Amino acid sequence: MDTGTQTLFDQVSEMLQSVQQASISNAAELEQFRIEFIGSKGKVKDLLAAIKDVAPSEKKAYGQVVNQLKQAAEAKYNDFKEQFEAQIGTQATDIDLSLPGDPIELGARHPVQLVRQQIVDIFVRMGYSIAEGPEIEDDWHNFSALNFPPYHPARDMQDTFFVYKDATDPLKDIALRTHTSSVQVRVMETTKPPIRSIMPGRVYRNETVSARSHCFFHQVEGLYIDRNVSFADLKQTLLHFAREFYGAESKIRLRPSYFPFTEPSAEMDVTCFICGGTGCNVCKHSGWVEVLGCGMVDPAVLDNCGIDSNEYTGFAFGIGIERTAMLKYGINDLRLFSENDIRLLRQFRGAV
Ligand code: PHE
């Protein structure tokens, strides 16, 4: 036997001894053993590869001893592995139970939903019930029943997205509703007075998207119909709302305005809840901020909806949710509400 071959045989038997004598007392040492002897870069692999240097007459015998070595190493590894696996559960090896867990991040309610809920809650406590209507509306509910006659310029107060535009008959048009006042009509058509209804929803207008206007936003509509409902009832209801929503010290003022479906119509300002009326950027140093449109339901609208205007009167109002949320939370760009920027949204964690 040449000396090179003899050396290889010697190495195999030495390694068999090291394998047999290797002391393994924990999972880390077992892994060390695996890497040293049986891993893809282990010593046994090297000895197997060395068969090419063995004298041809000895290759068979060499192959046998290296295989014995390999089996011995694998058998030892498997024995210990089973032993350690059996211990897992009773003894912490590589699991550290004292490490802090991965936090479960809580989501936040969207500011539009927060404000919508706050407004709706105030009116629900006054006995109003919640109603909703479709976002795709026919001409009747969005316009005609509300006293916007065909071709009347008041229709241009709100630029409309049409889903279907009839060539000859505007009454056949289908559009994305431009205001939640369409839900008023639906409620009046299907409910006998007394009616106390609060109607939140999304509305659409064909406007260029900017910091101050958007092609969709949200409103909360209110409607109260009964015998002898007066403008004083409207004013007191809105004052109560302002005190609940903006703070007990709030004052309101009503400025004359125009909507086709209310007569008289008004816009309501509330004392600036940022500066308390002394003047700041939010109220543009006037001490007042505009918060909603309102008025007494026009008798023609009641009649359109099947309610006898000789017997009943009522009031209605519409509150813009984004506008309210911008004032309340100091948000200065309408687009932020629909960009889903996590840096904005996470500021509302835990808010109710
Ligand atoms: N629908 C009106 C708007 O969108 C608001 C409004 C509602 C005004 C109810 C009066 C009564 O501008």
Distance 317 CA to ligand 1 centre (A): 6
CB of 177 within 6 A of ligand 1: the answer is no
Residue nearest ligand 1's atom 7 by CA: 318
Helix orientation angle between 111-125 and 321-329, rounded to the nearest 10 degrees: 110
222 Cβ closer than 6 Å to some ligand 1 atom: no
How far is Cα of residue 133 from the mean position of the Cα atoms in its chain? Answer: 22
Tell me, in angstroms, the distance from the centre of ligand 1 to residue 74's CA: 82
Query: Which of helix, strand or coil describes residue 34?
Result: helix
Decide whether any atom of ligand 1 lies within 6 Å of the 295 Cβ: yes
- Pocket of ligand 1 contains residue 37 by CB under 6 Å: no
> Which residue blocks in 55-150 are alpha helix, DSSP H?
59-87, 111-125, 139-142
Q: How far is the centre of ligand 1, averaged over its atoms, from the C-alpha of 87 (Å)?
A: 73
Alpha helices in 229-350 (DSSP H): 231-246, 299-304, 321-329, 342-345
Residue type, 265: S
Q: Is the CB of 317 under 6 A from ligand 1?
A: yes
- Residue 209's alpha-carbon distances to 109, 157, 163, 292, in angstroms, are 24, 17, 20, 21
In contact, 322 and 209? CB cutoff 8 Å: no
Give the residue whose CA is nearest to atom 2 of ligand 1: 318
pLDDT tens series, the chain, 352 aa: 788 899 999 999 999 999 999 888 888 888 899 999 988 888 889 898 999 999 899 999 999 999 999 999 999 999 888 887 776 655 556 788 888 888 888 889 999 999 999 999 999 999 999 999 999 999 999 999 999 988 787 777 678 999 999 989 989 999 999 999 999 999 999 999 999 999 999 999 999 999 888 999 999 999 999 999 999 999 999 999 999 999 999 999 999 999 999 999 999 999 987 787 788 877 888 889 999 999 999 999 999 999 999 999 999 999 999 999 998 888 889 999 999 999 999 999 988 8
